[in-house]
Amino acid sequence: MKDIRKIINNYFDGNLSKEEEDALKEFVLKHDLTSEYSFLKDMFEHFEKEKQISLPQDFEDNLFVKINEIESRENKVKRVVSYAITGIAACLIIFIGVFYYSQLSNNKSDELSRALVEDEELNTTYEAFLLMNYYIGKGFSSIEELNKLSIAPNEIQKLEILYEYKSKFLNNK
């Protein structure tokens, strides 16, 4: 009995050859073991049942279709976020342009003060564009970081789909 315990311990440590593992499996399935190791029989029977299960022929195609659907949804979200940011930036540029133009139109002073105001407004607009450029660039880098963080849940979702297909298949058997 000490030998079988040693072999079982080596099995769980992963120290058995394929032949020794097959011999242990055959021994466990043919003989009654103590209650301490009775779970091995159930485990080996389960392994044998698992070997007999085969996937449907279209499983791989269905899996890739589901993965592509998920990826296309992700790309759509990225596209929508990109369009939203671009739209906001365009609105800000238009607003600044309209404001700048209205300031120029309303200013009816002499040529010297008008030239000074135009230069001052031009510099202000230029600084506003630089500031917008800085924050928009900063926002895109934050979005890229968020996209990296969103990969893990998507991978989990792919595994859940795989598990769901496997469960459906096993329930049909």
Higher per-residue pLDDT: 155 or 1? 155
- What is the model's pLDDT at position 104? 65
What DSSP line would sit under 61-128, residue for residue? HHHHHHHHHHHHHHHHHHHHHHHHHHHHHHHHHHHHHHHHHHHHHH--S-HHHHHHHHHHHHHHHHHH
Q: pLDDT at position 37, please?
A: 72
Identify the pLDDT of residue 112: 46
| 38-47 tens-digit pLDDT | 787 778 888 7
Tell me what pLDDT residue 173 has.
57
Pick the closest to residue 41 from 52, 33, 51 (CA basis).
Answer: 33
53 and 170 Cβ atoms separated by less than 8 Å: yes
**Local confidence band at 110 (pLDDT 50, 70, 90 cut-offs):** very low
Q: Which helix (H) or strand (E) holds 148?
A: helix 111-149
Mean of pLDDT values over 96-112: 66
Average pLDDT, the chain: 76
- Whether the pLDDT of residue 109 is over 60: the answer is no
Q: Rounded to 10 degrees, what is the CA torsion of 140, 145, 147, 151? A: 170
Residue type, 172: N
Tens digit of each residue's pLDDT (9 = 90 or more) over 122-155: 777 777 777 777 777 665 565 566 566 667 677 7
Q: Report the alpha-carbon distance of residue 101 to residue 78 in Å, rounded.
A: 34
Which residue did the predictor score with more confidence, 3 or 20?
20
Interval 48-88: pLDDT, tens: 887 777 777 888 888 888 888 888 888 888 888 888 898 89
pLDDT tens digits, residue range 10-36?
Answer: 888 888 888 888 888 888 878 777 777
